[in-house]
Amino acid sequence: MNFKDKIKALFHRSQLSEETFEELEDLLIEGDIGASIAFEVVDTLKNVCRKEGISTPEEARGKLKEILRPFIKIADFDFDDKRLNIVLILGVNGVGKTTSCAKLARWAENNGIEQPIIFAACDTFRAAAIEQLKIHGQRLGARVIAQQHGSDPGAVLWDAIDAARKNNARLVIADTAGRMHTRADLLRELEKLDRVVSQKAGDVSYQRLLVLDATTGQNAMRQAEIFNSSVKIDGVIMAKYDSASKGGMIIAVSKQFGLPTVFLGTGEKYGDLEPFDIDRYLDDFVGD
Ligand SMILES: Nc1nc2c(ncn2[C@@H]2O[C@H](COP(=O)(O)OP(=O)(O)OP(=O)(O)O)[C@@H](O)[C@H]2O)c(=O)[nH]1
Ligand SMILES: [Mg+2]
């Protein structure tokens, strides 16, 4: 049984016993919520159930949702149609950054943000990364600003902001390299991109979105910790939330680092990006 089936089965039992709470604790940990949060949540739930005389798993599930809800910070994608919006897509290798850039452009267009939307190919580390973004740009009708493999990501962003100003674009989406030799390297590169934005762009709306792979559990927590302690992250795109993902990490990154999940990546197609919806998420995580 996968995680979601197990949690559903737990709440479909007829009795709420001490054993149910113990199993719930284990299941929440298995679901990537983190051990300390699982203990805290189940303790609170036990107390609430005792105090309110709750005896059925079904009612306990409702209470569990109420307890989890305040842990989850939410934020919409922040788009200001009066200004230029610059979105930096960050994250380690292979989490889904480039795909998320493409999906975000499609989502933006579907939500009334007009072309030209500009992609900045700031992942200059891999030659193939630039090509990949160019292909997405062609398919999506977005303009791609790129330089050669190995060039300075800051210079690419600089050019992209220039192009946005000239073409009256409202949205620049910057793909970045996922490599992370050391925290100092990461910090230096991101500080440089920040400097470009502040020097070049002037009055803009600027967001840094961290892409995490929902199937990687504790690894993703570590990535969130490193990025968040290096630069200010505004929100998370939880990619690969489809299929094997258990989903508890959304609560964990929110509670631990104060990071809201802004979008869920739910597949490999352009349309597979959904704004985070807390009710749907809770129904999905503990069943409805
Ligand atoms: N199932 C699923 N697959 C995804 C999702 N997002 C990305 N992928 C897949 O994950 C793989 C890596 O995606 P990329 O967008 O290339 O990841 P990246 O972070 O840009 O990778 P690097 O540039 O190598 O650091 C690709 O095969 C994508 O199709 C998602 O939401 N769901
Ligand atoms: Mg990439």
Q: Tell whether ligand 1 has an atom less than 6 A from the beta carbon of residue 57.
A: no
Q: Tell whether ligand 1 has an atom less than 6 A from the beta carbon of residue 91.
A: yes
For residue 14, CA distances in Å to 17, 20, 55, 58, 86 come to 10, 11, 9, 9, 52
Distance CA 42, CA 67 (A): 9
Q: Tell whether ligand 1 has an atom less than 6 A from the beta carbon of residue 213.
A: no
User: Would 3-71 and 84-286 be classified into the same CATH topology?
Assistant: no
Q: Tell whether ligand 1 has an atom less than 6 A from the beta carbon of residue 94.
A: yes
Specify the CATH architecture of the domain 3-71. Up-down Bundle (1.20)
pLDDT at residue 175, as a whole number: 97
Q: Tell whether ligand 1 has an atom less than 6 A from the beta carbon of residue 247.
A: no
| CATH number given to 84-286 | 3.40.50.300
Q: Which residues contact 283 (CB under 8 A, 6 or more apart)?
A: none
pLDDT at residue 206, as a whole number: 94
pLDDT at residue 180, as a whole number: 66
Q: What is the pTM of this model?
A: 0.95
pLDDT at residue 246, as a whole number: 85
> 182: buried, middle or exposed (CB in 10 Å: 19+, 13-18, 0-12)?
exposed
* Count of CB atoms situated within 10 Å of the CB of 58: 13
With the most atoms of ligand 1 within 8 angstroms of its CB, the residue from 213, 245, 268 to mutate is 268
Domain boundaries, the chain: 3-71, 84-286
155 C-alpha to ligand 2 centroid (Å): 18
Residue-level pLDDT, tens digit, the chain, 288 residues? 888 889 888 998 888 999 999 999 999 999 999 999 999 999 999 999 999 999 899 999 999 999 999 999 999 998 998 999 999 999 998 999 999 999 999 999 999 999 999 999 999 988 899 999 999 999 999 999 999 999 999 999 999 999 999 999 999 999 999 776 677 887 788 888 988 998 887 889 999 999 999 999 889 999 999 899 888 899 999 999 986 678 899 999 999 999 999 999 999 999 999 999 999 999 999 988
Residue 87 tokens read as: 């979105």
Q: Tell whether ligand 1 has an atom less than 6 A from the beta carbon of residue 265.
A: yes
Residue 40's φ and ψ, nearest 5 degrees, are -60, -45
73-109 exposure pattern, b = at least 16 Cβ within 10 A, e = fewer: beeebebeeeebbbbbbbbbeebbbbbbbbbbbbbbb
Q: Which residues contact 288 (CB under 8 A, 6 or more apart)?
A: none
Q: Which atom of ligand 1 is nearest to the CA of 132?
A: 16
Q: Which atom of ligand 1 is nearest to the CA of 267?
A: 32
